[in-house]
Every structure is written in structure tokens, then in C-alpha cells.
């Protein structure tokens, strides 16, 4: 898949040889859900890898041979530290002799809805003093098309080094899905687009030593746009099925039965399911990067904006349904005891980023409900307006609750016991139906 016919400049050829022989020293900036697994995969391929993160607690964990990411076992970190394959630091001095570096820093949205690229800017500027001929830099942080060329490239060239001849720059979108065991950093196809064909060749060579399938793209913009298309596809289709749930509710039809029936078609249909809202770093945020960027060329991304509006309003719809459910039992939401079951953004992980559970809990509290939660993966929540700890005795809390609200369908929960002991259950994930648990006490989204 790699194009070996490109005539490489001397600096590129020497770097490619170091990469192919695993003699290159690599670096990873940002050691979160993307950076730590990447560092491990590169080290397991035989490279010496140095990680940099501003969070001293993360660095201390790594240096002690401990993992703070569920997808990376402690044993892997401990073994790689023992072998001298990985190290971590809070300072960029540790990257002084680096040959290749991947930037995996956060790219959140500001409250105003525009992209916050300050982490990319900071990482790039901090790296500049350690640039040298024969070095490759790859941005992995999700962002809008043009970021690598317009923002990172000028910083790397400001001291006179020429990208494509002396140093090499590419974009390769992270595709991490926390909690998955079938598709990992190692075997998920890796899209890579360089500023120049030489940049693409060098960057693909680096990743090809450690990953199963490399997919070269013709430019950084193509690679950047591909990531946004992936997550916009999911956001729009989730919005569609969420709106289908709203329509079915109005028409008195079971949306879950509708989806089950439609999913029997062996072609032309892909199953998505509704829920209490979108969570995680990617799907709720990435499409809005594209929408924001398109405003600069006087184009309104109407489908993205509408999908975001539908998905963002789902926690309020959940609130309304809980209110209606309690009203049917002659109970007011104010003063009711509610137990939220699952607060992570997706099943079987501890990741709270953009979790709709936070919105649901906040809305319930604003209405005067007494809210508790249980999550086997999240022992406590520190919110800007409130702090909560997961209840220690799930079934005791279930018995006390006027309504159990299932937000995240963790598989470590004994749903049969929850069903047996609950007075009333609002199931936003249809998880009880999967276990054949049905009855008048269960209300589905």
C-alpha cells in the first residue's frame, strides 16, 4: 500500500531507514485515551517512545508502570517501562532527540460553539525548539479541514526548516472507540495524509511499522475531512432515529419494535438506536467543527445543525417522559426519589466526556427531584454545580427509588434483580427488553 517509487530527499530517506529498522526514537504528546494506547502500540513494535503530558499524575502513573486507561492493562505499561521502551515526562525537553512525534491533544468546543485549538497551538509551539532535519510530526487531534496546513505548518517552518524536504508533516485522525476489543489502535485502518507526497510516505512508514493497515490520503485536508465524515454520519443517523422515537411516541408506536423490524432488511438499511443524548468526545463535537468551518465559506451545514439540535434536546425529552411517567403514578417530580442507572457516556467504560447523564441529572435536580446514581465504572461525579457518589448498595437504592432511570446500559448490572425490586423503571436504552424483562412497571424511550 505504501508508494516506494517516490524520490525521497536525503533527510526523508535517512528517516525512513531509521523507522524501518526501529532505530528511530518516537514521541507522543498528550497521553489520554488516544495517546497512551498509541504509545503502547509503537513501543510494542520495537520503538523507544517518550510521552509528554501536562498532567503530572498521568506521568507518575506511567513511570510507576500503571495504566489509567481501561483499554491498556497495567501489565503492558509495567513490562514496557521495565524494558526501557517507554518513558513519560511533563516537559518537552524529553523530546530533544526525537525522530517522529504524534500530537494527540484535546480539541474541545468553546461555550460559544467555536473550536478551541489552543492545545494544538501550545503543543506545536512547545515542540518547535526541538525540531531538527529528519523529523516527522503527525497531528492526530480531530479538527476542521485546513488546520494542519494553516496552523501547524507555519509554526514548524518559522525557523527556516522546509516541510517536505527537511522535516515532514502529516495528519492522521485518531479512531479510538473506548471499550472495544475487536477494533483497537493496532488493527483499525490508519488514514494518513501529508502536506506533500514525501510527508505522506514518511508518516505512513512510521505507522506501518506498528499498525496492521495503512490508508494513504492525498492531502492533510482529505484525512481531516474523512474523520469528520465518519462522525457526522453517525451523528446524523442517530439524530434520525432519535426523531423517529419522538414521532413514534406521538403516534403510539413502539420505536424499538419498528427498528427491529426494519433491521431485518439485508441491504440498504443500517441499524441505529435512539437514546438519551450523545456522549463521548467525538460524535457530539466533531460535526460542529465542520459546521463552524463552513461558515467561513458562507455555507450553512443544515443537516449537521439540525442533527445537533435533535440530539442535544434528547435529555429534555427524557425529563419530559420521566415527568409523565411519574404523573401516571400520581407523583410529582419535585420531591421524588430517582435513581439514575449508568452515567458513563457509553456502556462498559468509565468515560464521562459529554455524557447525557450529566444533563439528565442536572435537569432532574432543577425540577426538585432527589437524585442518586449507580455506576460500577464511575465511583463519583464532580460537576460544576453538584457532586455525587455512586450508591454503595444498588438494590437498596432501587427499592427506595420512586423511579429507576436507565441511562447507560452497562452489562455488569443485574437487570433481573433491578426489575424485581423496582417500583417503576424508565428505560432509555431498551436494555430490559434484551433480557425479556417486560411489564407495566417498565416505560421505554
pLDDT digits (tens, 9 = 90+) for 78-96: 999 999 999 999 999 999 9
Separation between Cα atoms, residue 338 and residue 405, nearest integer Å:
7
What is the band of 4 on the pLDDT scale with cuts at 50, 70, 90? low
Model confidence at 355: pLDDT above 70:
yes
Please give the average per-residue pLDDT across 410-422, as a whole number: 96
**How many residues comprise the chain?**
445
pLDDT digits (tens, 9 = 90+) for 17-35: 999 999 999 999 999 999 9
Cell 419530559 sits on residue: 320
Q: Clarify whether residues 227 and 213 are in a common domain.
A: no
pTM of the model: 0.91
Question: Is there a domain that residue 4 lies in?
Answer: no
Separation between Cα atoms, residue 419 and residue 357, nearest integer Å:
20
Q: Clarify whether residues 240 and 319 are in a common domain.
A: no
The residue from 218, 253, 270 where one domain ends is 218
Q: Clarify whether residues 212 and 83 are in a common domain.
A: yes
Model confidence at 404: pLDDT above 60:
yes
Degrees to nearest 5, angle at CA 336 with 335 and 338: 130
Question: Is there a domain that residue 438 lies in?
Answer: yes
Q: Clarify whether residues 335 and 443 are in a common domain.
A: yes
Separation between Cα atoms, residue 414 and residue 406, nearest integer Å:
13
Model confidence at 432: pLDDT above 60:
yes
pLDDT digits (tens, 9 = 90+) for 303-352: 999 999 999 999 999 999 999 999 999 999 999 999 999 999 999 999 99
Residue 314 has a pLDDT of 97
CATH code of residue 437: 3.40.50.720
Q: Clarify whether residues 112 and 245 are in a common domain.
A: no
Model confidence at 1: pLDDT above 70:
no
Please give the average per-residue pLDDT across 271-295, as a whole number: 90
Residue 3 has a pLDDT of 46
Question: Is there a domain that residue 2 lies in?
Answer: no
Degrees to nearest 5, angle at CA 186 with 185 and 190: 70
Q: Clarify whether residues 331 and 353 are in a common domain.
A: yes
pLDDT digits (tens, 9 = 90+) for 99-127: 999 999 999 888 777 889 999 999 999 99
C-alpha cell at 147: 488546520
**Mean pLDDT (the chain, rounded):** 95
Q: Clarify whether residues 124 and 171 are in a common domain.
A: yes
Question: Is there a domain that residue 1 lies in?
Answer: no
Question: Is there a domain that residue 332 lies in?
Answer: yes
The residue from 202, 218, 234 where one domain ends is 218
Q: Clarify whether residues 39 and 184 are in a common domain.
A: yes
Q: Clarify whether residues 95 and 192 are in a common domain.
A: yes
Model confidence at 281: pLDDT above 80:
no
Q: Clarify whether residues 42 and 189 are in a common domain.
A: yes
Whether 105 and 119 have beta carbons less than 8 Å apart is answered as yes
pLDDT digits (tens, 9 = 90+) for 153-174: 999 999 999 999 999 999 999 9
Residue 70 has a pLDDT of 87
Residue 159 has a pLDDT of 92
Q: Clarify whether residues 288 and 397 are in a common domain.
A: no
Question: Is there a domain that residue 210 lies in?
Answer: yes
Please list the active-site residues.
282
DSSP string for 152-205: IHHHHHTTSPPBTTTEEEEE------TT-SSS-TTTS-EEEEESSHHHHHHHHH
Please give the average per-residue pLDDT across 41-66, as a whole number: 96
Q: Closest Cα to residue 44, out of 73, 18, 5? A: 73
Rg (CA), the chain: 24
Separation between Cα atoms, residue 221 and residue 142, nearest integer Å:
12
Separation between Cα atoms, residue 64 and residue 66, nearest integer Å:
6
Question: Is there a domain that residue 344 lies in?
Answer: yes
Q: Clarify whether residues 269 and 193 are in a common domain.
A: no
Separation between Cα atoms, residue 148 and residue 138, nearest integer Å:
9
Range of the domain at 423: 315-445
Question: Is there a domain that residue 420 lies in?
Answer: yes
The residue from 218, 245, 266 where one domain ends is 218
Helix, strand, coil distribution of the chain in percent, nearest 5: 40, 15, 45
> How many structural domains comprise the chain?
3
Amino acid at each position: 500500500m505504501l508508494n516506494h517509487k517516490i524520490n525521497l530527499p536525503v533527510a526523508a530517506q535517512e528517516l525512513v531507514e531509521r523507522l524501518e529498522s526501529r532505530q528511530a526514537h518516537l514521541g507522543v504528546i498528550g497521553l489520554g485515551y488516544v495517546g497512551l494506547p498509541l504509545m503502547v502500540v509503537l513501543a510494542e513494535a520495537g520503538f523507544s517512545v517518550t510521552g509528554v503530558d501536562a498532567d503530572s499524575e498521568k506521568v507518575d502513573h506511567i513511570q510507576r508502570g500503571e495504566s489509567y486507561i481501561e483499554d491498556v492493562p497495567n501489565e503492558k505499561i509495567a513490562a514496557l517501562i521495565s524494558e526501557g521502551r517507554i518513558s513519560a515526562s511533563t516537559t518537552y525537553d524529553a523530546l530533544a532527540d526525537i525522530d517522529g512525534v504524534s500530537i494527540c491533544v484535546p480539541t474541545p468546543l468553546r461555550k460559544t460553539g467555536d473550536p478551541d485549538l489552543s492545545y494544538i497551538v501550545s503543543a506545536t509551539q512547545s515542540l518547535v525548539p526541538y525540531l531538527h532535519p529528519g523529523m516527522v510530526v503527525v497531528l492526530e487531534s480531530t479538527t476542521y479541514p485546513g488546520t494542519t496546513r494553516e496552523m501547524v505548518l507555519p509554526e514548524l517552518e518559522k525557523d527556516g526548516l522546509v516541510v517536505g524536504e527537511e522535516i515532514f508533516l502529516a495528519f492522521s485522525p485518531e479512531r479510538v472507540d473506548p471499550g472495544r476489543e475487536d477494533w483497537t489502535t493496532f488493527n483499525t485502518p490508519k488514514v494518513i495524509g501529508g502536506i506533500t507526497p514525501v510527508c505522506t510516505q514518511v508518516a505512513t512508514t512510521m505507522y506501518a511499522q506498528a499498525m496492521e493497515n495503512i490508508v494513504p490520503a492525498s492531502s492533510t485536508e482529505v484525512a481531516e475531512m474523512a474523520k469528520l465524515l465518519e462522525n457526522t454520519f453517525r451523528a446524523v443517523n442517530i439524530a434520525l432515529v432519535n426523531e423517529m422515537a419522538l414521532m413514534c411516541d406521538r403516534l403510539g408506536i413502539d420505536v424499538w419494535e419498528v427498528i427491529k423490524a426494519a433491521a431485518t432488511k439485508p441491504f440498504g438499511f443500517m441499524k441505529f438506536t435512539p437514546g438519551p443524548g450523545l456522549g463521548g468526545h467525538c460524535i457530539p463535537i466533531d460535526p460542529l467543527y465542520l459546521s463552524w468551518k463552513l461558515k467561513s465559506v458562507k455555507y450553512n451545514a443544515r443537516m449537521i445543525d439540525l442533527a445537533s439540535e435533535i440530539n442535544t434536546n434528547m435529555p429534555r425529552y427524557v425529563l419530559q417522559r420521566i415527568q409523565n411517567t411519574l404523573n401516571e403514578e400520581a407523583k410529582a417530580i419535585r420531591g421524588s426519589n430517582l435513581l439514575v442507572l449508568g452515567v458513563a457516556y457509553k456502556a462498559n467504560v468509565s468515560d464521562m466526556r459529554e455524557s447525557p447523564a450529566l444533563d439528565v441529572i442536572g435537569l432532574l435536580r432543577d425540577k426538585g427531584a432527589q437524585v442518586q446514581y449507580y455506576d460500577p465504572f464511575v465511583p463519583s461525579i464532580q460537576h460544576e454545580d453538584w457532586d455525587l457518589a455512586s450508591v454503595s448498595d444498588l438494590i437498596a437504592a432501587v427499592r427506595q427509588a420512586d423511579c429507576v432511570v436507565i441511562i447507560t446500559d452497562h452489562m455488569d448490572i443485574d437487570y433481573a434483580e433491578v426489575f424485581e425490586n423496582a417500583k417503576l423503571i424508565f428505560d432509555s436504552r431498551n436494555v430490559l427488553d434484551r433480557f425479556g424483562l417486560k411489564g407495566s412497571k417498565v416505560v421505554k424511550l
